[in-house]
Amino acid sequence: MQIHYLEIVTRQVDTVCAAYAAANGVQFGEPDAGLGNARTAPLTGGGLVGVRAPMHEVEEPVVRPYWLVDDIDAAVAAAVEAGAHVAHPPMEIPGHGTFAIYLLEKFPDLLDLVGILPS
């Protein structure tokens, strides 16, 4: 499994970016509107980490890994077959790929959201 995009939602965007940059020797870019105004930096081995603020007042801080998969439709179908609920169906983000988000219903209190991106 490979994480293609690691999304960190926090109310302390600049503080988190500064701490991660100092600890890992990376630089975070300017906000990317296509990723919810996330500031991004490269992940070792490929992909990005993105740090953004909540997009609405009820969105809580969370960390979401977006897995790299060969076939997003098949991956979503497999998640549903395993008992997941699709929170966001596959949608393309220009310049970034296609993503989907599903919720594992057995653990809703854990905000167990996982996204998928195809290779």
Looking at the predicted structure, is the pLDDT value of residue 112 above 50? no
Mean pLDDT across the stretch 6-23? 97
What is the assigned CATH class of domain 3-118?
alpha beta
Using DSSP's 3-state secondary structure scheme, residue 79 falls into helix
Looking at the predicted structure, is the pLDDT value of residue 114 above 70? no
Mean pLDDT across the stretch 30-37? 95
Closest of 62, 51, 66, 54 to residue 114, by C-alpha: 66
Q: Which CA distances in Å does 52 have to 20, 31, 70, 80, 103?
A: 13, 8, 27, 28, 20
Cβ count within 10 A of residue 65: 16
User: How far is the C-alpha of 116 from the C-alpha of 113, rounded, in Å?
Assistant: 10
- Percentage above 70 pLDDT, the chain: 87
Mean pLDDT across the stretch 38-65? 93
